[in-house]
Chains A and B, each alone.
Chain A
Amino acid sequence: MCGLCGILRLTASAPPVEAEVLAGMIARIGHRGPDEQRLRIEPEIGLGHARLSIIDLATGSQPIHNEDRRIWVVFNGEVFNYPELRRALQAQGHRFYTDTDTEVLVHLYEEYGDDFVEHLNGQFAIALWDGRHRRLVLVRDRVGIAPLYYAERDGRLLFASEVKALLPALGEAPRMDPAGLDQLLTFWAPVAPRTLFAGISELPPGEMLIAEGGRCRRRRYWQWQYPEHPDGYLRDTPESLAESLHDLLADAVRVRLRADVPVGAYLSGGLDSAVITALIHRRADVPLRTFSLRFTDPGLDESAFQRAMVEHLRAAHTAVPVTDELVANGLPAAVWHAEMPMLRAAPVPMAALSAAVRGAGYRVVLTGEGADEVLGGYDLFKEAKIRAFWARQPDSRLRPRLLRRLYPYLDMTRGQGQVYLERFFGMGLDDPSGAFFSHLPRWTTTARTKQFLSPAYAGAAVDGALAGLAEALPAGMRRWQGLERAQYLEARTLMAGYLLSAQGDRMLMANGVEGRFPYLDHRVIEFANRLEPRLKLRVLREKHLLREAMAGYLPAALTHRHKQPYRAPDAAAFFRGTTPAFVDELLAPGKLADYGYFDPSRVSRLLAKARRGGITGFADNMAFMAVLSTQLWHRQFVEDYHRQFVRLRPEGLRQAVTIEAEA
């Protein structure tokens, strides 16, 4: 991937584009593109690009232009089908001056206007300036792999790959958006376009923003869709559908191996990444290089399954050990890169993993991310299925017992824990066709973190998270089946907002590594969304069709393995060894009162509980991580604003930034 930024003057009276500000912006995201940083400044617009060279290392500098140099583009991401697009465009008479995937964008736009995006198979954030019609088009990929943020200020539209590149141009410290925090403390992340930063928006996945004539408007070009009628489903035999899924995935992997640098892969020990590595392995032209995390806590570790796969594939493999110290000391940098508080420490080890990739000389990895959302893998989907089955006979004593099969660790050795499970998972049983039915238990547990908000902040963050999401739901959702509604909510909230961002792009790009996700190829998604739910979740067997499709290519131990969620040590990691100084400093009552988000006396009690090792459950862990990471967020982006984003601005100019300007 790369980083981009820019400033567009929306009105004639808006201040001019200053090279120094633009250089300060791109310097803040230099980690995304360590190979080269360039700016282009015209009277109306300035574009900045930080490049991570992956395709056409020699001549791929951005911005890139069309034949008459009136259409310019800066681009973060990849267009995997660029060779095919390029051939078609050349046949239509377009001339190319580079071998990049980026250059197809300007010519596609010339041919198809704003619909050019529909031809792209890839992951992308694009800023395209059409100088002939004085219009700027910002585009984000369908599912939210590549980030893109924007803000309007003083008659100018500011945009960038990360918020930290917008901050130098704002001129004042940002403020927390209470509604953004409210959503984060419910869904794990704000729902785009909302962010944690008041006045700064995230372009939602599948949308474009068009700025022309002094105005900005958003347009949706892609949406997660499921059949609204039975005849919308694929009708082939299960065997033939499994074969189609296999072929689609193999092709999704094939195009994602396109790069002028070597490509590695993450291996978690689960089914999804095993499938990806097996598909790479079958291609004799690509040597397989794999990377994984290894935990000292046996409850979190999947090393045995990783080794089984590595031996099966005879891959060169690196396992990165994760210690409490790594998690505790790595949190500030993780919050800095993610730009949001986190309810789990899980992103921190992902930064150590990408550092190992970079250290081994790799800058691209394929991962199994997205398989659970696209093909029906999460326990939450099974949980919702059982709850819906139970809701048809709410008095049944036997139906809720199925929940025990799902959460064996909750099947308490002490007998009657079942009753407690029933109370918990019984919520919403009166409305099993409600849009949020599948997610109510999880969101309710997560929202318990809000009890630590200060009275002032809890009042400001009125409980509107669900209402805000309800407004944004697709009209046809009521006609989808239960599993499909759950898949949509998962993709829209947790995957786009957290997994692909705080735990994905940001932890990869912190070390200049690009992730590629074959399961999120839109051809795979659009195929999977037309599969009958029973082909994804067969009774309680998750990702049924994927297992059928790949059975012959994997060790049996992996094909039959029950999914283990990826987790890292949370609150305990900060107290089992030496507690980092920032914990006591940021959780001190004075600091909590000063920042204003949380109730100091409640947090003191939570901290005391954590210190004596008393935090064991999900809710307390999430609360501890939320409070600590929110305090870190405030310190780095608000309290230290001047030092981080204003005073050190010339540092960007001291780097080798190339500036081209046209009057």
Chain B
Amino acid sequence: MTHRQQLRDYILENYLFTSDASALDDDASFLERGIIDSTGIMEVIDFLEERFGVQVRDEEMIPENLDSVNRICRFLERKRAAA
């Protein structure tokens, strides 16, 4: 399964409580759509670090990196390229 797929499954299961893939648009803002709140983002970072073995530094914890499926995927790619 791709990172994108794993991430989507995680968000659908834990924050949208559904298996309906159409419920999550990869560009949708987690914050604006009320999908994940400010405490929930900590759980997402835990998931990324645990599942994909990345380290998210404090200064990287910004909506530009984390606020949608597409943003997280691009962030993960940049992290991998830099590694």
User: Are A448 and B14 neighbours in the complex by a CB distance under 8 Å?
Assistant: no
B27 interface residue (CB < 8 Å to A): no
Chain A hits for B5, CB < 8 A: none
User: Are B13 and A605 neighbours in the complex by a CB distance under 8 Å?
Assistant: yes
With A and B bound together, what is the CA distance between A412 and B17 in angstroms?
A: 26
Which A residues between 571 and 596 are near B, CB-CB below 8 angstroms?
Answer: none
A410 interface residue (CB < 8 Å to B): yes
| Stretch of A375-383, A457-465, A609-617, A636-644 that contacts chain B | A609-617
B37 interface residue (CB < 8 Å to A): yes
- Beta-carbon contacts of A408-426 to B below 8 Å, as 1s and 0s? 0010101111011101100
With A and B bound together, what is the CA distance between A415 and B58 in angstroms?
A: 5
A452 interface residue (CB < 8 Å to B): yes
User: Are A602 and B17 neighbours in the complex by a CB distance under 8 Å?
Assistant: yes
User: Are B38 and A424 neighbours in the complex by a CB distance under 8 Å?
Assistant: yes
A494 interface residue (CB < 8 Å to B): no
Chain A hits for B34, CB < 8 A: 444, 448
User: Are A416 and B18 neighbours in the complex by a CB distance under 8 Å?
Assistant: no
Which A residues between 606 and 663 are near B, CB-CB below 8 angstroms?
Answer: 606, 609, 614, 616-619
Of the candidates A417, A444, A601, A609, the one whose C-beta lies within 8 Å of that of B38 is A417
A59 interface residue (CB < 8 Å to B): no
User: Are A617 and B31 neighbours in the complex by a CB distance under 8 Å?
Assistant: no
Of the candidates A412, A451, A609, the one whose C-beta lies within 8 Å of that of B42 is A412
User: Are A414 and B45 neighbours in the complex by a CB distance under 8 Å?
Assistant: yes
- Beta-carbon contacts of B39-60 to A below 8 Å, as 1s and 0s? 1111101000000000001111
Chain A hits for B17, CB < 8 A: 451-452, 601-603, 605-606, 609
Chain A hits for B62, CB < 8 A: 416, 419
With A and B bound together, what is the CA distance between A445 and B17 in angstroms?
A: 16
Which A residues between 402 and 458 are near B, CB-CB below 8 angstroms?
Answer: 410, 412, 414-417, 419-421, 423-424, 444-445, 448, 451-452
User: Are A414 and B61 neighbours in the complex by a CB distance under 8 Å?
Assistant: yes
- Beta-carbon contacts of B6-31 to A below 8 Å, as 1s and 0s? 00000001101111000000000001
Question: Are A614 and B14 also in contact (CB < 8 A) when A423-B31, A619-B37 are?
Answer: yes
Of the candidates B31, B32, B59, the one whose C-beta lies within 8 Å of that of A416 is B59
Q: Classify chain B's interface size.
A: 20 to 34
Chain B hits for A452, CB < 8 A: 17
Chain A hits for B42, CB < 8 A: 412, 414
The smallest C-beta distance from B79 to any residue of chain A, in angstroms, reads 16
Which A residues between 137 and 162 are near B, CB-CB below 8 angstroms?
Answer: none
Q: Which residue of B lies closest to A604 (CB)?
A: B17
Chain B hits for A602, CB < 8 A: 17-18
Of the candidates B16, B32, B57, B63, the one whose C-beta lies within 8 Å of that of A419 is B63
The smallest C-beta distance from B63 to any residue of chain A, in angstroms, reads 6
User: Are B37 and A421 neighbours in the complex by a CB distance under 8 Å?
Assistant: no
Chain A hits for B13, CB < 8 A: 605
Question: Are A617 and B63 also in contact (CB < 8 A) when A451-B17, A605-B17 are?
Answer: no
The smallest C-beta distance from B82 to any residue of chain A, in angstroms, reads 19
With A and B bound together, what is the CA distance between A448 and B34 in angstroms?
A: 7
Question: Are A417 and B61 also in contact (CB < 8 A) when A424-B31, A445-B37, A605-B13 are?
Answer: yes
Q: Which residue of B lies closest to A417 (CB)?
A: B38
User: Are B40 and A617 neighbours in the complex by a CB distance under 8 Å?
Assistant: yes
With A and B bound together, what is the CA distance between A603 and B45 in angstroms?
A: 24
Which A residues between 114 and 133 are near B, CB-CB below 8 angstroms?
Answer: none
User: Are B59 and A415 neighbours in the complex by a CB distance under 8 Å?
Assistant: yes
Interface centre among B18, B39, B62, B63 (most CB of A within 10 A): B39
Chain A hits for B43, CB < 8 A: 614, 616-617
With A and B bound together, what is the CA distance between A609 and B39 in angstroms?
A: 16
The smallest C-beta distance from A491 to any residue of chain B, in angstroms, reads 27
User: Are B18 and A605 neighbours in the complex by a CB distance under 8 Å?
Assistant: yes
User: Are B31 and A420 neighbours in the complex by a CB distance under 8 Å?
Assistant: yes
The smallest C-beta distance from A430 to any residue of chain B, in angstroms, reads 15
Question: Are A410 and B59 also in contact (CB < 8 A) when A420-B31, A609-B14 are?
Answer: no
With A and B bound together, what is the CA distance between A444 and B35 in angstroms?
A: 12
Chain A hits for B14, CB < 8 A: 605, 609, 614
Chain B hits for A603, CB < 8 A: 17
Q: Which residue of A lies closest to B58 (CB)?
A: A415
User: Are B18 and A420 neighbours in the complex by a CB distance under 8 Å?
Assistant: no
With A and B bound together, what is the CA distance between A250 and B25 in angstroms?
A: 59
The smallest C-beta distance from A241 to any residue of chain B, in angstroms, reads 38
With A and B bound together, what is the CA distance between A247 and B70 in angstroms?
A: 62
With A and B bound together, what is the CA distance between A445 and B34 in angstroms?
A: 8
With A and B bound together, what is the CA distance between A324 and B67 in angstroms?
A: 35
With A and B bound together, what is the CA distance between A603 and B16 in angstroms?
A: 10
Interface centre among B19, B37, B62 (most CB of A within 10 A): B37
With A and B bound together, what is the CA distance between A497 and B20 in angstroms?
A: 36
Chain B hits for A415, CB < 8 A: 57-59, 61
Chain B hits for A410, CB < 8 A: 38-39
Beyond the given A420-B31, A601-B18, could you list 11 further A-B residue pairs with CB under 8 A, ordered by the A residue number?
A415-B57, A415-B61, A416-B61, A420-B63, A421-B38, A444-B34, A448-B34, A452-B17, A601-B17, A617-B40, A618-B37
User: What are 12 A-B residue pairs whose CB atoms fall within 8 Å in the complex?
Assistant: A414-B42, A414-B58, A415-B58, A417-B38, A419-B61, A445-B37, A452-B17, A601-B18, A614-B43, A617-B39, A617-B40, A619-B40
